[in-house]
A and B are shown apart, each in its own frame.
Chain A
Amino acid sequence: MSGTNRADPRPLSPHLQIWRPHATMFASITHRITGMGLYFGTFLIAAWLIALATGPEAYAQAEAVISGVPAQVILFVWTVAVLFHFAGGIRFLLWDGPHAGFKPKTASAVSVFLYVFAVLGSVAIWAAVLWL
């Protein structure tokens, strides 16, 4: 656009600086961020599998790292990201297939639900894993 073109002396009107974000906008960017997180998370799964294939000593080391607090925090955030991206993906299917959920109010409500679902779902999964 002209505003980013040096030959054009006219200013570019403010965009993110003035925008009042919508729930759908937040959910969209979160879907992308969680998607990228899951992409890089796959390398961690690969590392864990490699440790498993290498032998008992390597696997024991990997297990020691995983049971540490930082890794547990990463695993929890990972759970949230999986659930968010999963539910968001189903929403994309509903959008693109039956074209459902396009009303702005519905879309905003579903966006809020995605966050609630991802966080509460992760807490439930972790509670189940720790107690059972």
Chain B
Amino acid sequence: MVQLTLPKNSRVGKGKTWPKPQGATNLRQFRIYRYSPEEGGNPRWDLYWVDMDKAGTMILDVLLYIKNNVDPTLAFRRSCREGVCGSCSMNIAGSNTIACTKGFDELPGGVISISPLPHLPVVKDLIPDLTNFYAQHAYVQPFLKTVTPNPEKEWKQSEEDRNELNGLYECILCACCSTSCPSYWWNGDKYLGPAALLQAYRWLIDSRDEATGERLDDLEDPFKLYRCHTIMNCAQVCPKGLNPAKAIAKIKHMMVERVS
């Protein structure tokens, strides 16, 4: 359902302004979303000053700087710090991206806001609950399905067929795209969202896969696929430069083609 405003318990209040670090000359201010299930109450915006000479070059470095030097209670996910694992996805300056590959120099001036991925239940601070997102990924059965007996060695594929998977297999499931999509905000329980659909297409066009018909059947209803209205937020934000909107258009095309 479309709900333009946040529910009462989710409205973000004014938080704490943390002290400036001593002796820093190159300071920048960050506004970070805070919510603690232990404390309860409404979430709040905390303001932090960061010494940019000591904080490294990426937004993840800023978060680590805050956690190490200012406020150890700040919670966020991170792992590989090089854009491979997709853990540190969040909303930075109004757009979803992964913090580890977003440099300061790419950001607008002024105070930078950092909040969890949009329109999800918040577990703590910058950590949203992605249970539904993962369930949707599982729903598209992202693995090879065959009926013919297994070959002696591997399933072979021509170079051209393999090239079809470029721009699809690189997805790291960071959920930036799905949580950027207004259609997914309003119908996230019924619409699969760009990430799951990109993966669905990755298996639909895999020349080795033999379940194309069943895969299309699984997407055939008014919501799962067709809630995509080509708003294009997914492609605009993808930190890996992939294009879920295009993949979804191609699935729609396959739906039409199998009928005609």
Contact = CB atoms under 8 A, between A and B. Distances in A.
B120 A25 contact: no
B246 A102 contact: yes
A14 B115 contact: yes
Contacts of B117: 13
Nearest to B131: A2
B243 A102 contact: yes
Contact of A12 (B6, B180, B229): B6
Interface string A51-82: 00000000000000000000000000000000
A8 B236 contact: no
A15 B12 CA distance: 12
Nearest to A11: B10
B252 interface: yes
Where chain A touches its partner, the secondary structure class is: loop
Contact of B116 (A13, A16, A102, A107): A13
Interface string A1-18: 111100011111111111
Given A1-B120, A13-B115, A22 B232 contact: yes
A95 B249 contact: yes
Given A1-B188, A99-B253, A24 B119 contact: no
A4 B116 contact: no
A18 B91 contact: yes
A30 to B, nearest CB: 11
Given A3-B7, A10-B121, A11-B35, A19 B128 contact: no
A95 B230 contact: yes
A107 B80 CA distance: 32
Interface string B14-32: 0000000000000000000
A10 B9 CA distance: 8
16 contacts: A2-B121, A2-B129, A3-B6, A3-B120, A4-B3, A10-B121, A11-B35, A12-B7, A13-B10, A13-B121, A15-B118, A15-B119, A32-B229, A95-B230, A96-B249, A107-B235
Given A10-B129, A25-B232, 14 more contacts: A9-B40, A10-B121, A10-B122, A11-B6, A11-B43, A12-B7, A12-B119, A12-B120, A12-B122, A14-B91, A14-B115, A102-B246, A103-B235, A108-B236
Interface of B: 1, 3-4, 6-7, 9-10, 12, 33, 35, 37, 40, 42-43, 91, 93-95, 113, 115-123, 128-129, 132, 180, 182, 185, 188-189, 229-233, 235-236, 243, 245-246, 249-250, 252-253
